[in-house]
Amino acid sequence: MMQFLDKEILDKLHMYFVTYGMNFVGAIIIFIIGRWLASIISKLVEKVMHRTRVDKTLISFAKNIIYAALLILVLIATLSKLGIQTASLIAVIGAGTLAVGLALQGSLANFAAGVILIIFRPFRIGDLIEVEGTKGIVEELQIFNTILYAVDKRRLVIPNSKVTSDKIINLSSINKDKSWVDMVFGISYNDDIEKAREILQKVALSDPRVLKDPPPFVGVLELADSSVNVVCRPWVKPKDYQAVRFEILEKGKIELEKNGLTIAYPQRDVHIYEEKK
């Protein structure tokens, strides 16, 4: 009797292994090969896009999207091999996706903003931009974030929704290899504008990091309430932007005052009238 039961159990185990074990092994094979193919295809697409000189921003974004989409197809095929009804599973995934989407509205907003940045391309990899008052060189545009290498050597991770919600100043839109540094010096209304122009041009050109072509521009920006605002715009390489700005602002003030000019600051004259009784 025991021998009969043992044989029956072994027969059932053999049947289960033949029926489900092979499916399990097949599912593992499908997942491993499918994942490998997804990686190969995404890298192949990346190489093709590089050869066709597509923008680096679009290449990185497209590669991640293609890999994620292929991986989802591989998972569905794997589950189907295990005998799981994928039709009902897709419905469950859809309902779950809706719930997760409501819980992750911020992440979806960042994703949508990333798509907008890819389509309209207000900047590209390597551009010097200003976002939310911070200047930096675009290092990478990811699905949810934009990576900037700040001019003060910090690495900034900015959500894409923050990038698109504020104004984007592209300081490299004219030329990729150089950008101007915008500095304003307020001098007194009694000072000689031409003398101030000569001093600031000399200060700018004395810095070896300032490019000689085109030459620095110095001119009157506006006639403000308490000062004549003179703008100084030397051209530099993006990596030197912040360092040049710091030094020329300091040297410019010192040289202007050394030559008898006044760095103006807001003033107000108060006149008191005494009422006669």
How does pLDDT run across 197-207, given as a tens digit for each residue?
999 999 999 99
How far CA 148 is from CA of 116, 172, 275, in Å, comes to 18, 14, 62
Confidence grade of residue 266 (pLDDT, cut at 50, 70, 90) = confident
| Residue 135 dihedral angles phi and psi, to the nearest 5° | -100, 140
Same domain, 165 and 186: no
Residue recorded with tokens 């919600």: 165
Same domain, 197 and 252: yes
Same domain, 184 and 166: no
Same domain, 144 and 126: yes
Give the span between the Cα atoms of 184 and 181, in whole angstroms. 10
| pLDDT of 252 over the 80 cut | yes
Number of domains the chain is built from: 3
Least confident of 6-20, 54-68, 154-168, 187-201: 6-20
- 15 is a domain residue: yes
pTM for the whole structure:
0.48
* 115: its two tokens: 């798509």
Mean pLDDT of 183-199: 90
CB 234 within 8 A of CB 211: yes
Same domain, 221 and 149: no
**CATH number, residue 145:** 2.30.30.60
- 210 is a domain residue: yes
Same domain, 195 and 135: no
Closest-CA residue to 181 (of 130, 105, 126, 256):
130
Q: Which amino acid is at 152?
A: D
- 220 is a domain residue: yes
- How many whole angstroms from its chain centre is CA 59? 14
Q: Which amino acid is at 125?
A: I
| Residue 199 confidence (pLDDT) | 92
How does pLDDT run across 75-106, given as a tens digit for each residue?
878 777 776 666 666 666 666 666 655 555 66
- 263 is a domain residue: no
Confidence grade of residue 54 (pLDDT, cut at 50, 70, 90) = low
Q: Which domain holds residue 231?
A: 179-258
- 127 is a domain residue: yes
Give the span between the Cα atoms of 181 and 61, in whole angstroms. 31
Residues of the chain above pLDDT 70, percent: 76
- 151 is a domain residue: yes
Mean pLDDT of the chain: 78
- 49 is a domain residue: yes
Same domain, 92 and 48: yes
**CATH number, residue 40:** 1.10.287.1260
| pLDDT of 143 over the 70 cut | yes
Confidence grade of residue 5 (pLDDT, cut at 50, 70, 90) = very low
* 90: its two tokens: 């897709």
Same domain, 153 and 222: no
Same domain, 97 and 47: yes
- 4 is a domain residue: no
Give the span between the Cα atoms of 123 and 212, in whole angstroms. 26
Burial class (CB in 10 A: 0-12, 13-18, 19+), 101: exposed
Mean pLDDT of 100-124: 72
Same domain, 138 and 52: no
